[in-house]
Amino acid sequence: MRPKLEVLDQSLIERILDEAFQLINNPGVRIAPYVVELLRAAGADVRDGIAHIPAKLARSALQTVPRKFWLYDRRANPVVHYGGDRVHFDPGSSCLNILDPETQQARPAMASDLIRLVQVTERLPQFAAQSTAMVCNDVPPELGDWYRLLLVLWYSEKPVVTGAFSASSLHILLELLAIESGGRKALRNKPRAVFDVCPSPPLNWSEFASQNLVDLARAGVPAEIVSMPLAGATAPVTLAGSVVQHAAECISGITIHQLANPGAPIVWGGAPAIFDMRSGKTPMGAIETAMLDVACAQVGQYLGLPTHAYMVVGDGRVIDAQVEMESGISAVLGALAGINLISGAGMLDFLACHSIEKLVIDAEAIASAQRLIEGIEPRTESLALAAFAQAGLHGDFLKLKETRVLFRKEQHFPSAVIDRGFESDPAQVNGILNRARERVDELVMEYQRPEMLADREQAILQFAVAEAARAGLRTLPGISLLASADR
Amino acid sequence: MPEDTFSAMRQSIIDGAPDTAFSLAQQALAAGIATLDAINRGYVPGMHEVGEQFARRQLFLPDMVASAEAMRAAMAVLDPELKKLGTEGPMSGVVVLGTTKGDIHEIGKMLVGTMLSANGFKVHDLGVDVSAETFAAKAQEVNADIVGVSALLTTTMRNQRGVVEALTGAGLRPHVKIMVGGAPVTRQWAEEIGADGYAKDAMSAVALSRSLMEQRAARVMGPA
């Protein structure tokens, strides 16, 4: 039996959806000029930048959303399965700062930091996908979004969770992906990436977000709605009320998206949080935030849609017991909820900072969560009788063949990040931070850059060099042009 | 008798009760209590108490917002009286606030505006998605002491630099202090773009604004 967490019963889900359908009609949803005609032509009443979307229109849009789809790796293997209750994890995204590996102080992230994070993520099986995790501060801001993707594509073959920072730059990101995939059609058929698109709470699809939804739908590249109600600040204070707003933002976004191209892949996702009424911060590690994540995903699952959430995040400023307690609890709850893609690992300080050391610790929490949802299986004909028949009351179970055959299936073996008592002298035991540092170094040492087809590599380079030059950048930080030319 | 009234005024702010604050202000005027006394001995001590309780984490943001609303309700009665008397209220300074171009996040800026207003600053809130030129034009129009620029996104934070440049370009920098804030903003960023200060939240924005006003006054006075 697979353990499962639910926080809403069916009648509450139906009330949530009923109110969400009412909200998108009245007061309606703020939208951008880019999508006014699209909505009007489909029967929505649009006045003063606000679309009043009839429930019937939204319900028919929900019908055309694919119930499942895959993200593929560079070798065209299906890796991330959106739909149902399959669970995958990827690191948090778009962070400006990193905890310096040596000083453990936050500082602006550079291209070399992102590369190191990508290398570590590439080696960790807990992460099915990469994310464009950091904004590189050694790159001009105007090319900040696509440059992250360039580095991830250059150093990884896993699927990628990404996103554009503007309406216009989306096309640069799509072009990079198309070159890497062997063309727009190949990208559409076997998408390597999913794009996060964020409505602004409450119920506002800005110009940039509206346009991204439409352009992604038309490109046939998966979109992932990241709705972010902040309970008590930009959303109703009750958790149930915020889940309604999340549903209304997702449903209205899906309506716009499906009108642009019915059947295009899109994900019911989000990064909801409570609003701390003392600090004004949005604690991502709070239990109520995790409850919101689980509840929002449950509504999406009820509709049969692929789901996403932002979890495995702690709010402390350094790697400490608080950060890891919050991240670990969140990882377990997300997995139990059967959320298809859970972004966030590695992040701390209210999403303001990334840490590669935290990423490898989180990977252990994720591995535990993944083991948990495998559940307890009856792997032998008798559960214990046959074992006792052999071992008797001496209890020499260690000698049994079934022990040797089955222990790997029954037990997860964490890396040396987790102290399992190998060092007998407690004085010699390394702290978790040092164990994490050693693990990061080990993974980076093991890493080898995956092969890329030479013609595609050259095409990506040419494209990137030309785009970078438009922003006045003469080199590509983190990419050795000479080395690649020699290959 | 006035002491009881001042105490009730103070309490109306602590309770976050706009209707009570409003009617107490009307009663005070009818009873001939001096307008400035009502403000300085009644309502302002209430706001100070709220600030202190918030700092001690005994009050929460919704309480604080309600107190600021109560303060606004009282001042709606008292401000016209001050004007009639030709008296200036105990204004702390003039602040132009807004969220940068491309950014439509309101909540942090709204809290800052609320707290500044409650603490005696005259606040002109330009809203969200505000261009650098609009910040500069408004600062000039209202003779601002401080311009506060909010940004929630890493992508829009860089537009704070444009506001600093626009104010410099308009020749306003000698007179106008600039403070920046928002989730991704840091003290180092504020220094890098040439802003005068960084506030991490609404309460520290009030403290920063007071400190900037003192710096400004010292500059206007010049060295002794």
Residue A326 belongs to what H/E stretch?
helix A321-336
Give the per-residue pLDDT at B221.
54
CA–CA separation, B145 and B212 (whole Å): 9
For B155, name the nearest residue in chain A, comparing CA atoms only: A165
Q: How many CB atoms lie within 10 A of CB B140?
A: 16
What is A345-390 written as a DSSP string? Answer: ETEETTTTEE-HHHHHHHHHHHHHHHHHHH-----SSSSSHHHHHH
- Do A200 and B60 make contact, defined as CB atoms within 8 angstroms? no
B2-85 and B93-221: same fold?
A: no
In a domain, A481, yes or no: yes
The residue of B50, B100, B104, B188 whose CB has the most chain A CBs within 10 angstroms, and thus the best one to mutate to test that interface, is B104
Altogether, the residues listed in chain A come to a count of 487
What is B10-65 written as a DSSP string? Answer: HHHHHHT-HHHHHHHHHHHHHTT--HHHIIIIIIHHHHHHHHHHHHTTSS-HHHHH
Closest CB from A141, A277, A352 relative to B158: A141
Whether the Cβ atoms of residue A417 and residue A361 lie closer than 8 Å to each other: yes
Q: Does domain B2-85 have CATH number 1.10.1040.10?
A: no
Of all residues in chain B, the percent with pLDDT exceeding 90 is 59
Give the per-residue pLDDT at A142.
84
CA–CA separation, A244 and A296 (whole Å): 8
* Complex prediction ipTM: 0.83
- Do B184 and A165 make contact, defined as CB atoms within 8 angstroms? no
Q: Which of A306, A184, A198, A186 is nearest to A253 (CA)?
A: A198
In a domain, A436, yes or no: yes
In a domain, A403, yes or no: no
In a domain, A127, yes or no: yes
What residues are paired with A341 via a beta bridge? Answer: A88, A308
CA–CA separation, B129 and A287 (whole Å): 33
Sign of CA dihedral A166, A169, A174, A177: negative
pLDDT beyond 90 at A425 = no
pLDDT beyond 80 at A388 = yes
* B58 has a chain A CB within 8 A of its CB: no
Amino acid identity at A53: I
* A137 has a chain B CB within 8 A of its CB: no
For B185, name the nearest residue in chain A, comparing CA atoms only: A352
Per-residue CA distances from A267 to A161, A225, A253, A440, B159 (Å): 12, 6, 10, 32, 31
CA–CA separation, A255 and A215 (whole Å): 14
User: Looking at residue A229, which CATH number applies to its domain?
Assistant: 3.20.20.480
Give the per-residue pLDDT at B91.
65
- Neighbour order of strands in the sheet with A50-52: A29-30, A50-52, A45-47
- Do A233 and B183 make contact, defined as CB atoms within 8 angstroms? no
CA–CA separation, B179 and B195 (whole Å): 6
What residues are paired with A406 via a beta bridge? Answer: none
For B156, name the nearest residue in chain A, comparing CA atoms only: A165
Q: How many CB atoms lie within 10 A of CB B210?
A: 16
Mean per-residue pLDDT over chain A, rounded: 95
* B108 has a chain A CB within 8 A of its CB: yes
- Average pLDDT on A277-292 reads 94
- Do B155 and A234 make contact, defined as CB atoms within 8 angstroms? no
* A252 has a chain B CB within 8 A of its CB: no
Q: Is the peptide bond before A202 cis (omega within 30 degrees of 0)?
A: yes
- Hey, which residues 148-177 in chain A have their CB within 8 Å of chain B? 165-166
- Do A278 and B61 make contact, defined as CB atoms within 8 angstroms? yes
Residues of A in contact with B51 (CB under 8 A): none
Q: What is the pLDDT of residues A175-209, one digit of tens each?
A: 999 999 999 999 999 999 999 999 999 999 999 89
To the nearest whole Å, the CA of A350 is away from the closest chain B CA by: 9
* A230 has a chain B CB within 8 A of its CB: yes
Burial grade of A216 (CB within 10 A; 0-12, 13-18, 19 or more): buried
Name the residue with higher pLDDT: B202 or A59: A59
pLDDT beyond 90 at B185 = no
pLDDT beyond 60 at A327 = yes
Q: How many CB atoms lie within 10 A of CB A350?
A: 20
- Do B60 and A141 make contact, defined as CB atoms within 8 angstroms? no
Whether the Cβ atoms of residue A249 and residue A199 lie closer than 8 Å to each other: yes
Q: Which of B118, B78, B113, B105 is nearest to B159 (CA)?
A: B105
pLDDT beyond 50 at A487 = no
Whether the Cβ atoms of residue A161 and residue A90 lie closer than 8 Å to each other: yes
Whether the Cβ atoms of residue B138 and residue B124 lie closer than 8 Å to each other: yes
Q: Which residues lie below 8 Å from residue A326, measured CB to CB, with a gap of 6+?
A: A284, A285, A286, A313, A314, A315, A316
Could you give the angle at the alpha carbon of A118 between the alpha carbons of A112 and A123, nearest 5°? 130
- Average pLDDT on B207-212 reads 92
In a domain, A429, yes or no: yes
- At A98 the three-state DSSP class reads strand
Q: Tokens 């609890």, residue?
A: A329
Judged by phi (left if over 0) then psi (alpha if -120 to 50, else beta), residue B121 lies in beta
Residues of B in contact with A277 (CB under 8 A): 60-62
Give the per-residue pLDDT at A453.
95
Give the per-residue pLDDT at B89.
62
- Neighbour order of strands in the sheet with A341-345: A88-91, A341-345, A308-310
Residues of A in contact with B102 (CB under 8 A): 208
* A12 has a chain B CB within 8 A of its CB: no
Residues of B in contact with A135 (CB under 8 A): 154
* A144 has a chain B CB within 8 A of its CB: yes
The residue of A31, A93, A95, A96 whose CB has the most chain B CBs within 10 angstroms, and thus the best one to mutate to test that interface, is A96
Residue A171 belongs to what H/E stretch?
helix A170-181
CA–CA separation, B168 and A389 (whole Å): 87
Q: How many CB atoms lie within 10 A of CB A472?
A: 9
Give the per-residue pLDDT at B88.
64
Q: How many CB atoms lie within 10 A of CB A304?
A: 14
Mean per-residue pLDDT over chain B, rounded: 89
To the nearest whole Å, the CA of B89 is away from the closest chain A CA by: 30
Per-residue CA distances from A344 to A94, A116, A274, A311 (Å): 10, 17, 16, 5
What residues are paired with A204 via a beta bridge? Answer: A30, A200
Sign of CA dihedral B15, B16, B17, B21: positive
**Domain range summary for chain B, segments of one domain joined by +:** 2-85, 93-221
Closest CB from A135, A234, A280 relative to B201: A280
- Do B183 and A350 make contact, defined as CB atoms within 8 angstroms? yes
pLDDT beyond 70 at B108 = yes
The pTM for the full model equals 0.91
Per-residue pLDDT band for A222 (boundaries 50, 70, 90) equals very high
Whether the Cβ atoms of residue B166 and residue B132 lie closer than 8 Å to each other: yes
In a domain, A40, yes or no: yes
Residues of A in contact with B184 (CB under 8 A): 96, 352
Per-residue pLDDT band for B1 (boundaries 50, 70, 90) equals low
pLDDT beyond 80 at A174 = yes
CA–CA separation, A216 and A254 (whole Å): 12
Q: What is the pLDDT of residues A154-164, one digit of tens each?
A: 999 999 999 99
* A141 has a chain B CB within 8 A of its CB: yes
Q: What is the pLDDT of residues A468-479, one digit of tens each?
A: 999 899 999 999
- Tally of structural domains, chain A: 1
Closest CB from B107, B154, B202 relative to A96: B154
Fold of B93-221: Rossmann fold (3.40.50)
Q: Determine the angle formed by the axes of helices B2-15 and B61-85, rounding to 10 degrees.
A: 140
Q: What is the pLDDT of residues B46-105, one digit of tens each?
A: 988 998 898 888 999 899 889 999 998 999 999 899 888 877 665 689 999 999 988 777
Q: What is the pLDDT of residues B112-155, one digit of tens each?
A: 988 888 788 889 999 988 999 999 999 999 999 999 999 987 77
In a domain, A424, yes or no: yes
Give the per-residue pLDDT at A481.
62
Per-residue pLDDT band for B223 (boundaries 50, 70, 90) equals very low
pLDDT beyond 60 at A483 = no
pLDDT beyond 80 at A355 = yes
Give the per-residue pLDDT at A426.
83
Name the residue with higher pLDDT: A370 or A484: A370
pLDDT beyond 70 at A485 = no
Of all residues in chain A, the percent with pLDDT exceeding 70 is 99
Give the per-residue pLDDT at B219.
63
Domain range for A232 is: 1-376+414-487
pLDDT beyond 60 at A67 = yes
In a domain, A400, yes or no: no
- Hey, which residues 91-110 in chain A have their CB within 8 Å of chain B? 94, 96
- At A88 the three-state DSSP class reads strand
